[in-house]
Amino acid sequence: MCEGKKQAIPFLVLLSTVLAAVVLPQRLILSREPPTSGTLPPMSHQELSLPPTATAWYLPDYPAIEAMRENVVHTFRLCETEFQGPGGPVRGLVPAQEYGIIFVRDTSTMIPTLQYFYGDDYLRTPIEEFLRRQYGADTQSADGDIPGDGAISAVIAPDGHIDKATAVSDEETHLIHAAHQYYRIAGGIDWLQKELEGETIMSRLNRALEWLYTRRFDSTHQLIKRGHTTDWGDVRFEPSVSATDLDADTDHWTYSSYDQALTYRALLELAEMNQMLEDRVRASDLQRRAERLRCSTNEKLWNPQGGFYLVHKHLTPLAHDFPEEEMIGISNALAANVGLSDLHRSQRVFSNLESARLAAGSRKPGLSLYPPYPEGFFAHVQMSPGEYQNGGQWDWWGGMQITAEFESGHSALALAHLRMVAQDWALHPGQVFEWQMPSTAEGWGSDNYASAAATVAKAVVRGLFGVTVERDQASVQPRLRKHDGQIRALQPASGLYVSYDYKYHRDFIVLDYGSSHPRALEVSLLLPLGKETEKVSIDGAPISHRMETILQDSYCVFRAPSGVHRAVVSFKSR
């Protein structure tokens, strides 16, 4: 067994502090109360039976969250790009308008949201272009580096150049994740077997993983290594001409919690895709590697006293004159979200991330690191304490953190955090900053950062409204509790849609929905606090259901047929 001891924490005390800090909306849009107890509201049958013209959400109690959609769409449009690649047009989004090139990290984190706003070419062509430009044994980067066979570039550019950030070890895992998402959304098995420059996509993905294990896996400690950055950043602390490139002879190596989380996820995703192609031997090997990595990470990088994963441990001997082991990095939320940690570790992680946010004076989640590295430690000019990757606040990571909280049994905290981001965005309409100073919220970097817009929108669509639309399945997990809401989710790549109207009454919840997916919907409805399910019906006919509890969240779970229907979850009388 590689699990740690379960420890209880005073999480509800901390949560109450967060909830109290969020100002309630001052205007009420509509009355949720039906005329009499037991009277069901009218159903928008015609609207739910048609594909929506665009993905949108409505949340009368929280107009600031509703208004975020306009910022998201505006930012996406500014960051659209198109150029000619060897296989045809490449269409995608750059991280920000000023960047001009597509990054693999950002592509990976944007796809879950882009699928609801863009067609197939914006999802597929960047992935295929990264794979077409995969390094061979002698391929040189633009700066002259030769990373080795199977490596993946950090970027693809209109002029055709590629460049790998050799200080990090996450470019291969991000591309595997991007490919896995597209495989599930629209690609399927046929896409994995598609040939690019004479080699299948599946073969190229396997080769990318083997580069990582050949060049960056330390067999002694059973962990992935990288340069001495922060947990997720690409800026090394050593002085050099290029802050993102490693000098393997002189620079320091570390084991980052961030890389272990991404590699763990990539191993499981790669195993799933190989299994679907009936390569069971490779799939089993990948699953075994994932389990070994999970055990090694929890054994060597979990800080049981602090209740979080360390930023990293040093492979190369290096002594600091400050307590690096007290720093908590945002990759802790990623570790919780991908399943690297168990629920009890995750509970401590989210509590400690919230404590760090409060200590730093940040008015929203997404704090990259706290406490930061001291002044002068990083040679890079923009890495002073509280800046950029050294303790800056990022909505890119804040959105990821909120989604992780929603999916890990902390929905009340997640909603409070989402409202914080929405209220901050309302202060600067039309701007989504790359990062902000935690104490002042002053915006830095780009003010149209598509990666942040994407992860925050994911926190709304998948986190709060709980919508997932994939090629082989669709599900809704409304986490609205006592708040009425509507969502219209269209997937342009497939033409599939899932829409629903959620209406709360003290005696029941009405879920009117429409779905064009060929399979039944998996529904997991988060119950309001203090409520218990008595029965569930669809179109007036009772159906079976079960209850599932994840830490503080209790769900009523049932299957619902595709098409347009009304589900009613009735509560026990108290």
Average pLDDT over residues 521-532: 98
pLDDT of residue 241: 82
How much is the pLDDT for 34?
42
Angle at the Cα of 561 from the Cα atoms of 556 and 567, rounded to 5 degrees: 45
- pLDDT (mean) for 220-240: 96
Span 316-324, average pLDDT: 96
CATH number, domain at 61? 1.50.10.10
The answer as to whether 150 is a domain residue is: yes
What is the reported pLDDT for 24? 35
Cross-strand pairs, 569: 509, 536
pLDDT band, very low/low/confident/very high, at 37 (cuts 50, 70, 90):
low
**109 part of a folded domain:** yes
What distance in Å separates the CA atoms of residue 84 and residue 91, rounded to the nearest whole number?
9
Largest Cα separation within the chain, whole Å, is: 76
Residue bearing tokens 């799939």: 283
- Is residue 574 over pLDDT 90? no
Point out which residues pair with 329 in neighbouring strands.
Answer: 369
Looking at residue 39, what is its pLDDT?
85
pLDDT at 7: 39
Local structure of residue 510 (DSSP, 8 states)? E
Q: What pLDDT band is residue 3 in, cutting at 50, 70 and 90? A: very low
The sign of the torsion formed by the CA atoms of 302, 303, 306, 307 equals positive
- Give the separation between CA 295 and CA 225, rounded to whole angstroms: 16
* Domain region containing 143: 52-469
Residue at 46 is within a domain: no
8 in a structural domain: no
- How confident is the prediction for the chain on average, in pLDDT? 94
Q: pLDDT value at position 30?
A: 36
Tell me the per-residue pLDDT of 331-384, one tens digit each, with 9 for 90 and over.
999 999 999 999 999 999 999 999 999 999 999 999 999 999 999 999 998 999
Give the pLDDT mean for 203-214.
Answer: 99
Distances (CA, A) of 221 to 172, 205, 311: 21, 25, 16
Please check the confidence at residue 529 and state whether its pLDDT lies above 90.
yes
* Residue 64 maps to a domain: yes
What are 327's two structure tokens? 């720093």
Q: Which two tokens stand for residue 511?
A: 């879920």
Distance of CA 300 to the CA centre of its chain: 25
Q: In the predicted model, is pLDDT for residue 414 greater than 80?
A: yes
* pLDDT number for residue 20: 40
Cα–Cα distance, 558 to 395 (Å, whole number): 34
Q: Is residue 271 part of a domain?
A: yes
**Domain assignment present for 201:** yes
Phi-psi region of 495 (alpha: psi -120 to 50; beta: other; left: phi over 0): left
Q: How far apart are CA 560 and CA 361, in angstroms?
A: 45
Kindly report, residue by residue over 11-25, the tens digit of the pLDDT: 444 444 444 444 333
Read off the pLDDT of each residue in 497-512 and give the average, rounded to a whole number: 98
pLDDT for position 38: 64
Tens digit of pLDDT for each residue in 423-450?
A: 999 999 999 999 999 999 999 999 999 9
How many domains, in total, are found in the chain?
1
Residue 332 lies in a domain: yes
Token digits for 213?
């294990």
The pLDDT of residue 191 is 99
Residue 224 belongs to what H/E stretch? strand 223-224
pLDDT band at 240 (very low <50, low <70, confident <90, very high): confident
* Cα–Cα distance measured from residue 224 to residue 208, given in angstroms and rounded to the nearest whole number: 14
Measured CA to CA in angstroms, residue 328 lies from 105, 174, 231, 484 at distances of 22, 22, 9, 36
| Sign of the C-alpha dihedral computed for residues 375, 381, 383 and 384 taken in this order | positive
Q: Tens digit of pLDDT for each residue in 461-482?
A: 999 999 999 999 999 999 999 9
